[in-house]
Structure 1
Amino acid sequence: MSDSTLDWQPPPRPEWLARFNAEGQHTDLRSLVPLNADELIDTACRRTGLSDFGDNRWREPFEVLLKALEDEADLHYFGRLMTRNDLLIWLQALLGVQAAFTAHPEIADEVVDRPVIIAGLSRSGTSILFELLSQDSRFGLPRHWEMMFPYPPPERATYDTDPRIEHCQHLITQWNRVAPTYATMHEMDARLPNECIIAQACTFISEYIPFLFQVPSYMAWLGSKADWEYPYQFYKKLLQLWQWRNPRQHWLLKAPSHLNYLPTLFKVFPDAQVLLTHRDPLQAQASVTNLAGTFYWMRSDKPLDVAAFEGLLSPRHMAARLDQVIDWLESGSIPKKQCSNSLYADLVKHPLQALHKVYRQIGLSLDGEAERRMVHYLQNKPQGKFGAHRYGVGESDEVRRKRTLFRRYQAYFEVPDEAVI
């Protein structure tokens, strides 16, 4: 795999979107679709009738992001509209969560009991493991609609009929209308569970945000100045809020990027069971760029600048992050007994055997009904979606050179090589 795998070519724009954006080229977009901090805050307060944001740790990253959006993201007309709507949704979520805890301080007494949290490289099996474990009714999963619109708190009686579901459904399927190729990469539905970083975005400290926009200065701020305890503390509040009137037995949560913040995760969720997924890092890396490029293309005509995102995409930086996990485990910075492992290769070849192993590691039994549901789910997966594991043969000198970066990681977790194609 050479560096050319980091190249990305944008697909053609839908005709309706090309015409819409062309109209915006002769207008003052910054005045027409403002991304001004005070104006956005005033609008969010006016829409909700609320004014208390609570903890103010969101304010600095919010302003860093706005400056980066204006200076670096090169948003087109429709992209600015999408972005403004995202920002207002996040601000309104902050206001709503604070209003709920102010009106009902007892929500803070809700116990988030032994959540199971999946983390690992992107494309390493986090999604399929998440989908399979979700077939077990003992797990509660946050759905996309409640992540987007957490206030008022979801109610058990109306959980499947809440009008926010339809609102969320329109907004997230809009992505497929803006970039039709995205529909082939990821299933979007308001009722499906989604990644923790999407809910954390309303704190404006989230790895979700630099996958939406090309904002290198914001990425640099995340890497050097962000207080990562804040979005994890806020996420715990969201879990308490979601389960308050719609109880869940154990939360099942997932985000690949938890891998980078495991000490913080365990500080906020000390009884968590973390499932680490593992796959040949070179194969996992190869599919990330296409996803990132498509996200950016939804909002901007700016070409994908891979060099600006080296920390997300380069083998050297990826290897450093994986080695860091090993160091945390060996030093006791994270509790080894609460960290379990799932190999992508095992999940592909022998899924039920791999799932029984996962359950043993987290101290639960896989009962017959849950297993039957998992088998049914596997039988009804679209062909090819579950993936295939191809062992590496005849690798190039370049691939072998890059593979040396991951030698420690692959040996430590017994991760087999795959063919890099």
Structure 2
Amino acid sequence: MIVSELPMNPSVQDVLAAAERAAGLDDHGGDGFRESLGGVVRLLNEDADLPAERRAAAFGQLVEVLAGRLRLVEDDRRHPGIGREEVTAPLIVIGFGRSGTTFLHSIIAADPDNRAPAYWEVARPSPPPGLAAADDPRIALGDRDIESWLADLPGFITQHPYWDQGGSALMECEGFLVYDLRNHYPIQLSKIPYGTSWVADRDDDVVRYEFHRWFLKHLQYGAPPRRWALKGVDHQFHLAGLRAVYPDARLVWAHRDPVQVCGSLLAVISMLIRGTGKMGDPAEFARAWLDRQGELVDGILADPFAADPAICHVRYPDLVSDPVGTVRGVYDHFGLPVTAEFERRARAWLDAPENRPDRHGKWTYALAEYGLDEDDIDARFAGYRERFGV
């Protein structure tokens, strides 16, 4: 196995060379990812508490991601048409995790005129998924990925039941950015300790979304033309770059009471961290995390792009009480038709027992576990609540 040839504490060049051997290729498509690569290599080499087998597994997963990037660059060479693909007016659900974004995305994805990326496509995007057959073996490999990941995180399926769709589960845009090492997505990089700061803080959001579009073109190539239905939980922090690259994007911003969002997110992130690394003091972690979220929200409130009237805002209570009516309102906002077939599929999806949000049990959490109470969050996010009516 090529990864087993890595030394115990590999250098950046060792990792790159292993990826090149794995892919049989050597064109990485630029150097923008190397600063983040240096960060994760240092993290893994310097973490004295990381067992040797976990360190080896993490480096192995990193090599797989970089080999995937090499294959994408090679696909560009083999299929010049990829670069000529046009991504036109995508529907993009944005908003904090735990705000109903996946629920909303799932309903929009039921529209036969839309196409949403699946996990298997993002996890193994080469050769272009648009050229794949219905029984492509990458789908089964995606099923096994998620089964293995969930087995390491008992109870996680309760908080995100959509993962029971395996390799066909809808994927977030953050998964695209793994190949530029701009995001630590918990499945694709599940062996690397979660919650650690190794991604380089690069002030180049236009480049971020140029990479996003480049990746999306790979997914699109060879497939019947349909409108993209996307979802990302970080887009609201990068609106200027998003608009620069996708000026015609139809943005749907989901909002929920910050008390509910923060409590649920803390529980999710804590589970991920405990599953792959070390948590430390929960109250200290929660306070630092809350401070960071507050800074991000302050940035949103000061961002003129957040006031763009072209954005369609959706409140979580409205989405839950009348999902089809809410989506109809989204479509009306953008002047899109809600066809009879779309409404039939949306209602069928909502009525199906296998799509019930509590099908794996009720997700519970408590702020008190993190030394916080509702007043802490209410005070910190008062501006957000007032601005967006939650």
Q: TM (normalized to structure 2)?
A: 0.85
Q: Distance in 2 between matches of 1:290 and 1:115?
A: 32
Listed one character per residue, the Cα deviations across residues 259-283 of structure 1 (whole Å, up to 9, x for unaligned) are 1111111112121111110000111
Q: State the one-letter code of the partner of 1:93.
A: G
SS state at 1:193 partner: coil
Identity %: 25
* CA-CA distance at 1:398 after TM superposition: 5.2
Task: Say whether the 8 Å CA contact 2:331–2:338 is kept in structure 1.
Answer: yes
Equivalent residue for 1:119, pick from 69, 94, 99: 94
Aligned amino acid, residue 337 of structure 2: S
Deviation at 1:67, TM superposition (A): 0.8
Contact 2:210/2:245, CA 8 A, preserved across alignment? yes
Q: 1:50 to 1:383 in 2, by over 3 A?
A: closer
Q: Secondary structure at the match of 1:92?
A: helix
Per the TM alignment, residue 56 of structure 1 is displaced from its structure 2 partner at its CA by 0.9
Change (3 A) 1:383 1:306: same
Within a 5 Å distance, the mapping from 1:101-140 to structure 2 comes to 101-140=76-115
Specify the code of the residue in structure 1 equivalent to 2:144: H
Unaligned runs of 5+ in 1: 1-28, 389-396, 416-421
- TM-aligned CA distance change 1:383 to 1:165, over 3 Å: closer
> Which residue identity lines up with residue 178 of structure 1 in the other structure?
D
The SS at the match of 2:167 is: coil
Aligned partners of 1:216 and 1:308 also within 8 Å: no
Q: Distance in 1 between matches of 2:276 and 2:48?
A: 8
Report what 1:252 is aligned to: 229
Separation (CA, whole Å) in 2 of partners of 1:303 and 1:177:
23
Moved more, 403-412 or 346-355: 403-412
1:265-276 mapped onto 2 (5 Å cutoff): 265-276=242-253
Residue 354 of structure 1 deviates from its aligned partner by: 1.3
Indicate the residue corresponding to 2:179 in structure 1.
Answer: 202
Evaluate the alpha carbon distance shift between residue 383 and residue 52 of structure 1 in structure 2; reply closer, same or farther with a 3 A threshold. closer
How many residues in Structure 1 have an aligned counterpart in Structure 2? 370
Task: Identify the match of residue 260 of structure 2 among 283, 302, 312.
Answer: 283
Tell me the TM-score normalized by structure 1. Answer: 0.79
Deviation at 1:373, TM superposition (A): 1.2
Structure 1 residues 171 and 106, CA gap change in structure 2 (3 angstroms): same
* C-alpha spacing 1:72/1:117, structure 2 compared with 1 (3 Å): farther
1:145 is matched with which residue?
Answer: 120
- Within the alignment, does 1:371 sit opposite 2:343 as a pair? yes
Letter in 1 for 2:147: T
| Backbone CA RMSD of aligned residues | 2.9
Quickly say closer, same or farther: Cα 1:40–1:338, change in 2 above 3 A.
same
Partner SS state of residue 111, structure 1: coil
Change (3 A) 1:342 1:353: same
Matched, 1:344 2:319: no
Q: In the alignment, which residue of structure 2 is the partner of 1:236?
A: 213
Q: Is the 8 A contact 1:197 1:208 kept in 2?
A: yes
Q: Separation in 2 of the partners of 1:166 and 1:194?
A: 16
Map of 1:176 onto structure 2: 150
- Quick one: structure 1 residues 367 and 195, their matched pair in 2 at CA, closer, same or farther if it must change by over 3 Å? same
Gaps of 5+ in 2: 364-371
**Contact map agreement 1:101 1:108 (CA 8 A) in 2:** yes
Deviations 1:216-255 (A, max 9, x none): 4426x43xx4544333212211111111111341111111
Q: 1:167 to 1:304 in 2, by over 3 A?
A: farther
